[in-house]
A and B are shown apart, each in its own frame.
Chain A
Amino acid sequence: MDDVFSNFDLVLKAFGLTLELLVISGVLSLILGTLLAAFRVGPVTVLARFGTAYVTLVRNTPLLVVFIFVFFALPKLDVQLPFLLKGTLALTVYTSAFVCEAMRSGINAVSVGQAEAARAIGLTFGQTMSLVVLPQALRAVVPPLASVLIALTKNTSVAAGFGLLEATARMRGFTNNNADARTLIFLIFAVGYIVIVEVISAGAFGLERRWRAAR
Chain B
Amino acid sequence: MSTSVLFDVAGPRTRARHRVYTIVSVVVLLALLGVVLLRMSSTGQLAYAKWEPFLTPSYLSALLLDGVVKTVEMAFSSILLAVVFGLLFGIGKLSEHTWLRWPCWVVVEFFRAVPVLLMMIYIFLTYGAGGDGIGSYWSVVIALTLYNGAVLAEVFRAGIQAVPQGQSEAAYALGLRKSQVMMSVLMPQGVKIMLPAIISQCVVALKDTSLGYVILAPGVTRVGKSIFLEFQNQVQTAIVLAVIYILLNVAVSSIATWAQKKFVGEKSVLLMDSTDGGGALI
Contact = CB atoms under 8 A, between A and B. Distances in A.
Interface of A: 41, 43-48, 50, 56-57, 59-65, 68-69, 72-73, 75-79, 98, 101-102, 107, 112, 115-116, 119, 124-125, 128-129, 133, 143-144, 146-148, 150-158, 160-161, 167-168, 171-172, 175-176, 182-183, 186, 189-190, 193-194, 197-198, 200-201, 204-205, 208
A168 B211 CA distance: 13
Nearest to B272: A147
Contacts of B10: 43
Contact of A45 (B1, B235, B276): B1
B207 A62 contact: yes
Nearest to A208: B282
A107 B253 CA distance: 23
Given A76-B235, A193-B113, A194-B114, A182 B125 contact: yes
B246 interface: yes
A3 B104 CA distance: 33
Given A63-B276, A175-B122, A193-B113, 12 more contacts: A56-B250, A60-B250, A63-B210, A64-B211, A65-B241, A76-B232, A78-B39, A143-B280, A154-B113, A186-B126, A194-B114, A204-B280
Contacts of A69: 238, 242
18 contacts: A41-B6, A44-B18, A44-B21, A46-B26, A59-B249, A63-B210, A68-B237, A76-B43, A78-B42, A143-B280, A143-B282, A147-B277, A150-B280, A151-B275, A167-B118, A172-B125, A176-B125, A183-B126
Interface in B2-24: 4-8, 10, 14, 18, 21-22
B126 A175 contact: yes
B115 to A, nearest CB: 4
B33 to A, nearest CB: 11
Interface in B197-228: 203, 207-211, 213-214, 221, 224, 228
Contacts of A59: 249
Contact of A151 (B14, B39, B234, B276): B276
A43 B7 contact: yes
- 5 pairs of A and B residues whose beta carbons are closest in the complex: A151-B277, A62-B210, A161-B214, A157-B115, A60-B249
A76 B234 contact: yes
B186 interface: no
Contacts of A197: 113
Interface residues of B, number: 63
B126 A182 contact: yes
B245 interface: yes
A151 B208 contact: no
B280 A161 contact: no
Per DSSP, are chain B's interface residues mostly helix, strand or loop, or mixed? helix
Contacts of B190: none
A176 B84 CA distance: 32
A125 B7 contact: yes
A69 B253 CA distance: 24
Given A176-B125, A201-B281, A204-B282, A119 B7 contact: yes
A193 B207 CA distance: 21
B52 interface: no
Contact of A150 (B22, B116, B277): B277
Contact of A72 (B25, B228, B245): B228
Contacts of A47: 21, 25
Nearest to A126: B7
A193 B115 contact: yes
Contact of B116 (A44, A147, A154): A154
B277 A115 contact: no
Contact of B277 (A107, A152, A172): A152
B110 interface: yes
B278 interface: yes
A102 B209 CA distance: 24
Interface string B180-205: 00000000000000000000000100
Contacts of B242: 57, 61, 65, 69
B282 A205 contact: yes
B88 interface: no
B121 A61 contact: no
